[in-house]
Amino acid sequence: MSIFEKLESEVRSYSRGWPVVFDRAQGSRLYAEDGRPYLDYFAGAGALNYGHNNPVLKKALIEYIERDGVTHALDMFTVAKRDLLETLDEKILKPRELDYKVIFPGPGGANAVEAALKLARKVTGRESVINFTNAFHGMTIGALSVTGNSMKRHGAGIPLVHATPMPYDQYFDGVYPDFLYFERLLDDSGSGLNEPAAVIVETVQGEGGINAAGIEWLRGLADLCKRHGILLIVDDVQMGCGRTGPFFSFEEAGIKPDMVCLSKSLSGYGIPMALTLIRPDLDVWEPGEHNGTFRGISPAFVTAAEAMRTYWSDDELEKSVRAKGERIGAALQGLVDAYPEAELTAKGRGLARGLEFQNGELAGRVCAAAFERGLLMETSGPDSEVVKLLPPLTLTDAEVGEGLEIIDASVNAVLGK
């Protein structure tokens, strides 16, 4: 029995589908300890947008560690934090005319969500939050309450309350008007819907099955929130940092959320880091009212700032993401067309792409076939029925081609053509 089997809890999941021991990683590739390379279309579930061990960030990181820069600093002032804030302001906020204030909520995306929900409730004096069908926002009780997956919800062991799910865009395949039910409940003082403090939304639902909300739907949601005095929280933990093209996934829609949650690829190097951005007038916290040990991990600040300077000083990455995303999208559509009887659906935006099968068993077999061929992809969606492609944004055109070939072969192997 391996030490993993002996010691690690049954809750582990990824290692079940990919039963090898990984050792090194570089760019778009992971290497098992036997040296076998795997092309990574998973990218740390979106935490490695700039690739594994990105050399530019690696250089800055090692320099910082070597010179004994402060590593851990809670919310003290540090040179590293100053550089981060200045770079965030200069490269990200100002060019987009955003004047957010910054909360350091803790190390992970769930912390960014918990801080946003707490603040939204404190500001409005209301407890209830609107989430969307098939949302994923994290595993801590506050974040889990607004997450859709029933298996994960059961893990809470307590009834998850204070959240009401509304249909995400296209939940009824476009047959019914957007927000019909939501706005009717809000307008009707007898509806029984507790007045919501906030709406929390992903612009593209990654865990939910690569469901990409339309631009008009997002605008409609922002308008609805404004009309009803509800705070709009965009959870950009997975779709931010360029995953869909622009730094913030909501830019294309031209909306300005009241709060934004960032994490995953924020540090750029896979080191835990998260931010909650808030409208300045919402900054009503007492000092220390929300805190935590891992809010000032300077190595993450160093790589985050370096990533912003490297990738967000111009629009090259954004253009490249769009181009590669469209290429992948077209290839997936090709598969849809090639297997009409399988009733596949190609989904997604930018480099968050999905291929939906009729059931999770098929999608799982495609991922297993890809793994055998040296490609890492996971499934998502309520029934794990969507093959999910989240490659590093920095993958080369050759790696796009390589990945698509393996996907093609894997689908072929499973659908039996």
**Residues, the chain, total?**
417
Q: Which of 56, 96, 149, 408 binds a copy of itself (CB under 8 A)?
A: 149
* Of positions 91, 118, 347, 353, contacts a copy of itself by CB under 8 A: 118
Asked if residue 1 binds a copy of itself (CB under 8 A), the reply is no
Q: How many CA atoms lie within 13 A of 130 on its CB side?
A: 26
Instruction: Tell me which residue of 214, 204, 192 sits closest to 242, measured CA to CA.
Output: 204
Q: Is 368 in the site for a copy of itself (CB under 8 A)?
A: no
DSSP 42-56: SHHHHT-TT-BT-HH
Among 56, 140, 310, 413, the residue binding a copy of itself under the rule CB under 8 A is 140
Q: Is 341 in the site for a copy of itself (CB under 8 A)?
A: no
Q: Candidates 94, 95, 161, 334: give the one binding a copy of itself (CB under 8 A).
A: 161
Tokens representing 188? 């009707």
Letters for 195-214 (x = contact with a copy of itself by CB under 8 A, - = none) are x-x----------xx-----
Establish if 183 lies at the interface with a copy of itself (CB under 8 A). Answer: no
> Is the Cβ of residue 203 or residue 263 nearer to a copy of itself in the bound state?
263
Binds a copy of itself by CB under 8 A, chosen from 127, 252, 402, 408: 127
Please name the helix (run of DSSP H) or strand (run of DSSP E) that holds residue 337, with its range, or none. helix 316-338
Member of 37, 89, 374, 413 binding a copy of itself (CB under 8 A)? 89
Residue 101 bridge partners (DSSP): 278
User: Is position 109 an interface residue for a copy of itself (rule: CB under 8 A)?
Assistant: yes
- Residue 129: both structure tokens together: 């939050």
Where do the H-state alpha helices sit in 130-274?
A: 141-144, 150-154, 180-187, 215-228
Q: How far is the CB of 354 from a copy of itself (least distance, A)?
A: 14
Nearest Cα residue to 285 out of 89, 73, 121: 121
> Toward a copy of itself, which CB reaches closer, 115 or 225?
115
User: Residue 217 in contact with residue 169, Cβ under 8 Å?
Assistant: yes
- Does 343 contact a copy of itself by CB under 8 A? no
The binder of a copy of itself chosen from 36, 94, 153, 417 (CB under 8 A): 153
Interface residue with a copy of itself, options 28, 147, 244, 249 (CB under 8 A)? 147
12 binds a copy of itself (CB under 8 A): yes
Residue 344 touching a copy of itself (CB under 8 A)? no
The residues, ordered by sequence, that sit 6+ positions from 243 with a Cβ below 8 Å of its Cβ are 46, 49, 204, 249, 265, 321, 350, 351, 352, 390, 393
Q: Which of 37, 56, 71, 345 binds a copy of itself (CB under 8 A)?
A: 71
| Residue 357 in tokens | 């099968």
CB within 8 Å of 25: residues ≥ 6 apart: 31, 40, 52, 53
Of residues 271-290, those binding a copy of itself (CB under 8 A): 271-272, 278, 283-290
Residue identified by tokens 């913030």 is: 248
- The Cα–Cα gap between 185 and 193 comes to 6
Dihedral Cα 295, 296, 300, 304, nearest 10 deg: 90
Residue 118: closest CA among 300, 292, 264, 301: 292
Task: State which residue, 196 or 329, has the beta carbon closest to a copy of itself.
Answer: 196
Q: How far apart are alpha carbons 96 and 252 in whole angstroms?
A: 11
Of residues 36, 76, 330, 343, which one binds a copy of itself by CB under 8 A? 76
28, 50, 52, 240: which one binds a copy of itself (CB under 8 A): 52
Report in angstroms how near the CB of residue 143 gets to a copy of itself at its nearest: 7
Instruction: Please give the structure tokens belonging to residue 56.
Output: 């530019």
Partners of residue 353 on adjacent β-strands: 348, 389
CB of 412 to a copy of itself, least distance (A): 26
If one asks whether residue 345 binds a copy of itself (CB under 8 A), the answer comes out as no
Asked whether the beta carbons of 212 and 204 are under 8 A apart, the reply is yes
Applying CB under 8 A, among 39, 41, 60, 78 the residue interacting with a copy of itself is: 78
Site residue total, a copy of itself (CB under 8 A): 152
* Binding to a copy of itself, residues 204-263 (CB under 8 A): 208-209, 237, 263
CB of 138 to a copy of itself, least distance (A): 7
304 to 333, contacts with a copy of itself by CB under 8 A?
none
Residue 123's H or E segment, with its range, is: helix 109-124
